[in-house]
Chain A
Amino acid sequence: MSQALTERGLSDTAMAASIPAPEGAGAPNYTVTPKRTPDGSLEGDLLEISMGPQHPSTHGVFRMDVVLEGERVARLKPVFGYLHRNHEKIGENTTYLGSMPYTDRLDYFCSLTNNWAYALTVEKLAGLQAPERAEYIRVITAELTRLQNHISLVGFLLQDMGASGTPLMYAFRERETILDLFESLTGARMMCNYMRFGGCRCDLPPGWLEQAKQVVGEFPRFLDEFEALLTGNEILMSRTQGVGCLPPDLAVNASVTGPMLRASGVNYDVRKVDQYGIYDRFSFRVPLGEHGDVYDRYMVRILEMRESLKILQQALRDIPEGPILDPRAKLRGFRPKPGEAYGRIEAPKGELGFYLISDGTPNPYRYRVRPPSFINLTILEDMCLGHHVADVVIILGSVDIVMGEVDR
């Protein structure tokens, strides 16, 4: 196994993630350039449809203008902005602390990682440092968020494929145990508003670590059941292998990040590259795919969940006592020095970054979110050309978008 890894240029921190796909899978059959008549309608047998904003499988209010030749996609343009709330302008009119609850609502499935990315950027801008216990709590909550995000995504992907809710409901049953943990720690299941600049808002309540250890202890058994249901399933394999292939050089050039990039075989995980927080203390591997198709993205996410469980076990074992907030942190009247900072983390959907420019006032001058879902959508058209309409739904499902983040 290790020889095969080094042959492919993988280090011992990366591991391969595929079940081999059938021969010749992945190349689109043909592409057609749509031509229009003078009055604007499409020439020939092309049909332009809008997989419109109200659609059960578009993961939110998302629209795709698809030009079809029969059942195959000739052109696809994503249209979004239905959930645009101009979060960046709100950020310019609110204080730094006041923007923290708004970051919860960006990628609303993963509010704690959003909080962490923002807190990291402000700490970089202001020169604050979170104490050790706070860093451990951040890692624990981030990995729990990754678990519940990936399991929900697999559930939604199977739902889009027509498995009409069974894997989704199993996934949500386990997700509830994690959300209960979040509620007892932060007070809210989804909109947590937990990280502060320099640490966390409040300490772990008594009994939380034991409950977390119990959840983490039972999760592998559930993952085994889930994989028994799904991974060897012939319908899943034939529908997803070879569909929506993304070559690695195109993925890198299109700024794709996260599990979608790693499924194409590129070994880039911000946790390993930047080693923000205390990720250098945990030993975990980075799963990589070979073909970059939907099946690889599904497998990479399942394997990432197992790696997250490893990190969680290590963190829950090693968490020290101590303060949870930097003593220099200020709640009110926080004015960082003028300057700018770009902070990024490996959110479950990709690289989530915040770019803040401060001019010495309590409000930032420029507040920018680098949304992974938005940027991963750049390459959606290239992946879908030549495939069937049903495949478009699955490919979109595997990109893992949340409209709160795409539109902000």
Chain B
Amino acid sequence: MTSPMLGEGILKGLAETARNFLGSYVKEDRLVTVQYPEERLPQTEAARNFPFLVYDADNWQKGLRCVACLICEKECPPQCIYIVKDTVRKPDHTGKLQFQPKVFDIDISVCMSCQICVEVCPFDAIKMDVEYELSTSDRFGSLLLRKEQLAKSNDYYRKVHPAEAADVDARLGAEKARAAKVKATAATKPAAGPSPAPPPAVA
């Protein structure tokens, strides 16, 4: 193999840089800059930023799925969630009496978007939002999100995470159907009559 000419490596490198530079005028994949904020890249389905609370139906207070079980508060590693449970049960959007959180604060200057609260919630009440343009000039006021700011509807959840929301809806729907079936079979038993003995077999 002949020894390389002095400067050959640098010339090859310059050819490479020229290819990238001139190529950015003609080829799409060499021009990778996204002119933010005029253009924005679409976020993937799984992207996550800070949590939000999901509510069903239209009433954000009554439809809130959270029942203040305090599991997310306990499991949150930096302990950025603060919940005060209500002392009386209130009717939710289906009329069932539930405990609700009186206070639900998340400090997003502490939250590290680890998603553990979403994983441990047994009621699918807290999910990850995708909003990232949250900068503000008021550190303690605006970076502490209260229950009103956190509550967003299930339609919004379907919009930002369509596949996940579909899964959750399917699962909750199946649970509700199962609960309704159990209630229906329990309701038909006493209506059958007071006699405990089964009818004798037809001879």
Please indicate the chain A residues that have their CB under 8 angstroms from the CB of B113 in the complex. Answer: 188, 191
- Verify A183–B20 contact, CB threshold 8 A: no
Q: Is B172 an interface residue (CB 8 A)?
A: no
Within 8 A of A (CB), among B109-135: 112-116, 119-120, 128
Complexed CA–CA distance, A205 and B163 (Å): 10
Complexed CA–CA distance, A85 and B17 (Å): 41
Interface-side segment among B3-11, B143-151, B188-196: B3-11
Chain A, Cβ-Cβ closest to B16:
A229
Q: Is B91 an interface residue (CB 8 A)?
A: no
Please indicate the chain B residues that have their CB under 8 angstroms from the CB of A249 in the complex. Answer: none
- A94, A229, A236: the one contacting B77 at CB < 8 Å is A94
- Verify B112–A191 contact, CB threshold 8 A: yes
- Verify B46–A102 contact, CB threshold 8 A: no
- Verify A228–B120 contact, CB threshold 8 A: no
Complexed CA–CA distance, A176 and B77 (Å): 29
- B13, B15, B20, B46: the one contacting A230 at CB < 8 Å is B13
Chain B, Cβ-Cβ closest to A236:
B9
Q: Taking the nearest CB of chain B, how far is it from the CB of A316, in angstroms?
A: 19
Complexed CA–CA distance, A320 and B137 (Å): 50
Q: Is B86 an interface residue (CB 8 A)?
A: no
Q: Taking the nearest CB of chain A, how far is it from the CB of B163, in angstroms?
A: 8
Q: What sequence of 0s and 1s flags, for each residue 147-182 of chain A, a beta carbon within 8 Å of any chain B beta carbon?
A: 000000000000000000010001001001000100
- Verify B46–A183 contact, CB threshold 8 A: yes
- B46, B48, B120: the one contacting A332 at CB < 8 Å is B120
Interface residues of A, count at CB 8 A: 38
Q: Is A95 an interface residue (CB 8 A)?
A: yes
Q: Taking the nearest CB of chain A, how far is it from the CB of B78, in angstroms?
A: 9
Complexed CA–CA distance, A97 and B76 (Å): 10
Contact (A225, B16) CB under 8 Å given A184-B45, A233-B9 = yes
Complexed CA–CA distance, A323 and B77 (Å): 27
Q: Taking the nearest CB of chain A, how far is it from the CB of B167, in angstroms?
A: 11
Complexed CA–CA distance, A95 and B75 (Å): 8
- B45, B77, B115: the one contacting A99 at CB < 8 Å is B77
Complexed CA–CA distance, A53 and B140 (Å): 29
- A100, A102, A180, A232: the one contacting B12 at CB < 8 Å is A232
Contact (A101, B112) CB under 8 Å given A176-B32, A232-B8, A232-B9 = yes
Complexed CA–CA distance, A202 and B163 (Å): 13
Q: Taking the nearest CB of chain A, how far is it from the CB of B158, in angstroms?
A: 17
Q: Is A114 an interface residue (CB 8 A)?
A: no
- Verify A187–B47 contact, CB threshold 8 A: yes
- Verify B13–A186 contact, CB threshold 8 A: no
Contact (A228, B16) CB under 8 Å given A184-B46, A185-B46, A234-B9 = yes
Contact (A234, B48) CB under 8 Å given A98-B75, A101-B112, A331-B120 = no
Q: Is B87 an interface residue (CB 8 A)?
A: no
- Verify A98–B115 contact, CB threshold 8 A: no
Give the interface of B toward A (CB within 8 A): 4, 6-10, 12-13, 15-17, 19-20, 32, 44-48, 71, 75-77, 112-116, 119-120, 128, 163
Give the interface of A toward B (CB within 8 A): 94-95, 97-102, 105, 166, 170, 173, 176, 180, 183-188, 191, 193, 201-202, 205, 225, 228-237, 331-332
A-B contact pairs, 13 of them (CB 8 A): A94-B77, A98-B116, A99-B77, A102-B77, A183-B47, A187-B47, A187-B115, A188-B47, A191-B112, A201-B119, A228-B12, A233-B13, A234-B9
